[in-house]
Amino acid sequence: MTREAHGADVDVRAITKRFGTVVAVEAVSFTVRAGEFFSLLGPSGCGKTTTLRAIGGFEAVDEGDILIGGRSMGRLPPNRRETNMVFQRLALFPHYSVLDNVAFGLRMRRLPAPEVRRRVAEALERVELGALGVRRIGELSGGQQQRVALARALVNEPRVLLLDEPLSALDLKLRIQLQEELKRLQRSLGTTFIYVTHDQGEALAMSDRIGVMSSGRLEQVGTPLEIYERPATRFVAGFIGDANLVEAVVEAVDGNGLVARVGEARVWARREGWEQVGAGLTVCVRPERVRIARPDGRSDALAGRVEDRAFSGSLVKYRLAVPGLRLHAAVPYVHGTPLFEVGDAVAVAWDGDQAVTVPA
């Protein structure tokens, strides 16, 4: 299969999908490049699964179009698309053996039996299930079933592999192990993956790019770093990682920074360019960027008090009360340094360029 190196494999153009009066997906557009690991991330009910199912041909969109490999999909049924899906509930055929499950797609294409055998064996080898081909699905563990589902989809060499929260039923340890395997597999095969998840850690760890969805809309598309460092909306800022979201009014802007007022206090942030003096916005600061110290009378620090403390080994998490707002700080624990106590007065500050602004 030849592909242009950086062409769009999947081009989603302003799709809208309604279920009765509920708008599940609203004017969502994005492109996925060939060989890319693209995640759709969002809370349950945000429309990410509906979007994935629309790409796979399981939902007909009400508006917009989806192009796969440059070809408009229209109302093409799933069996005539160059996609394969790994279902959330796996949907392995309980009446078939592992081999027959994996061979299903190839047999539907009426490939000669020797080729089916060879490719099924290869696929099972690739997911490290070579010896289990004759087993029934019910005889496998959750992790093994997961691998069969993956092999059953990948054996067809789809242009795009769609994955609908495939790891959500597994326990944490197995999930992390399979995340690594999935990523490795995707790299070695070069297949385009579109991965739906509500787990931001999973999306950040695995994806080349992430599309964050909320209430049927696509909020932002970017690399994990971009999304973490420069969230485009308040929702993205709050959903990806922990964040202090401070509602403030812009007081002054200069060059790359700005000062905003929250009640009596002043906060600093990096300037994106759209902010206007006198207008409200939200300042987003990650807890690990918040610095706390004993009060020393410096004018640019916020005067606060420790409200609560939680020690978690590598980090110490403080909840801080600053007049007019409440902030969270996560400070690396350094052996030997004393911790702040609940009730201690502290000076709270952060570097202006470590905080970002999003529309209120």
Partner 1 sequence: MKVRGWLAVGLLAPVVALTAGLYLVPLGVYLINGFHRFKDGRILPVWTLDTYAAFFTDAFSYKIMRTSLLLAAIVTVLALAIGYPVAYALHTRVRGAKARAVLAVVLFCPLMISVVVRTYGWLILLANQGLVNTTLLRLGLIDQPVRLLFNMQGVVISLTHIMLPFAIFPIYSVLGKLDASLKEAARDLGAGPWATFWGVTLPLTLPGVASGGVICFTLALSAFVTPQLLGGGRVQVLPLTVYNSTVEINWPEGAVTSVALLALSVLAVWAVNRVLRRLPTVA
58 in contact with partner 1 (CB under 8 A)? yes
Stretch that binds partner 1, among 19-27, 40-48, 54-62, 281-289 (CB under 8 A): 54-62
Report the alpha-carbon angle 161-165-171, nearest 5: 125
CB of 28 to partner 1, least distance (A): 21
93 in contact with partner 1 (CB under 8 A)? yes
Q: Are strands 71-72 and 22-33 parallel, antiparallel or unpaired?
A: unpaired
105 in contact with partner 1 (CB under 8 A)? yes
- Name which of 34 and 162 has its Cβ closer to partner 1: 162
| Helical H segments across 155-302, by residue range | 172-189, 200-206, 224-229, 234-239
CB of 108 to partner 1, least distance (A): 4
* Cα atoms in the Cβ-side hemisphere of radius 13 Å centred on 169: 13
Stretch that binds partner 1, among 67-75, 86-94, 119-127, 283-291 (CB under 8 A): 86-94
Any idea which residue has 């197995």 for tokens? 174
- Name which of 58 and 333 has its Cβ closer to partner 1: 58
Report the alpha-carbon angle 293-296-299, nearest 5: 100
78 in contact with partner 1 (CB under 8 A)? yes
91 in contact with partner 1 (CB under 8 A)? yes
Stretch that binds partner 1, among 84-92, 182-190, 290-298, 326-334 (CB under 8 A): 84-92
CB of 239 to partner 1, least distance (A): 27
Span 156-185, contacts to partner 1 by CB under 8 A: 156
C-alpha to C-alpha distance for 360 and 344, rounded to whole angstroms: 31
24 in contact with partner 1 (CB under 8 A)? no
Cα separations in angstroms, 293 against 84, 308, 317, 331, 344: 54, 16, 14, 11, 10
69 in contact with partner 1 (CB under 8 A)? no
Among 49, 84, 179, 207, binds partner 1 (CB under 8 A): 84
87 in contact with partner 1 (CB under 8 A)? yes
77 in contact with partner 1 (CB under 8 A)? yes
Dihedral of CA 150/151/153/157: which sign?
positive
Cα separations in angstroms, 348 against 134, 284, 291, 356: 63, 15, 6, 17
C-alpha to C-alpha distance for 334 and 339, rounded to whole angstroms: 10
74 in contact with partner 1 (CB under 8 A)? no
* 122 close to 113: Cβ distance less than 8 angstroms: no
Cβ neighbours of 228 (radius 10 Å):
18
Stretch that binds partner 1, among 14-22, 80-88, 169-177, 291-299 (CB under 8 A): 80-88
97 in contact with partner 1 (CB under 8 A)? no
Among 108, 134, 279, 293, binds partner 1 (CB under 8 A): 108
- Name which of 194 and 292 has its Cβ closer to partner 1: 194
Stretch that binds partner 1, among 26-34, 83-91, 223-231, 313-321 (CB under 8 A): 83-91
H or E element in which residue 83 lies: strand 83-86
Beta strands in 255-354 (DSSP E): 257-262, 265-270, 280-285, 291-293, 302-311, 315-322, 325-332, 345-349
Instruction: Enumerate binding residues for partner 1 (CB under 8 A).
Output: 56-58, 77-79, 83-85, 87-89, 91-95, 104-105, 108-109, 136, 138, 152-153, 156
